[in-house]
Structure 1
Amino acid sequence: MADKLRTQQQLESLQNKYIGTGHADTTKHEWTSNIMRDSYASYQGHPSMLLYMSVGMGCTVEEVRKHCMERMVLPVGAPPRVEEE
């Protein structure tokens, strides 16, 4: 029983420390947004990946970096509307 409690406490501390880990109430939109934001942050953190993407897109590295930063605002679009009952 103590192992189960310890595991739950460790999970809760990870969820508090790292926003993208998710929890039982995480929606699909939040989950995919976190994944895309992590991806864009990774692209910006690896200059060779930015260079590779800029060659493929036919633009400069700075334009690709700017595009990644802009996409981090709403990475998968606006959240879905919630119907109230």
Structure 2
Amino acid sequence: MAEPGGEAVHNRIALLRTERGVSRRELADALGVHYQTVGYLERGEYAPSLHLALRLAAFFDVPVEVLFSLTPFPRIGAPATASDG
């Protein structure tokens, strides 16, 4: 979903959550948010505050840039293009 400035915030929350076997409810409980908030975040319907983004990155033990981007992430398994390397 676009932010007021017109830019969407893309994320890999669902990917990391699934990869690590964490349910939406478990993630929500760890972050102190409602489990539906996790769904809104994953679908891009809600952009997190900086505080929440940093807490998510800390939970997954990754840099915030691994979790969030202003440009879409490449699809997993997508073929590399000449500009990728």
**Which structure features the higher share of strand residues?**
2
Flag the structure with more relative contact order, 1 or 2, with Cα contacts below 8 A and sequence separation at least 6: 2
**Which structure features the higher share of helix residues?**
1
TM-score using structure 2 length: 0.29
TM-score using structure 1 length: 0.29
- The structure whose Rg is larger is 1
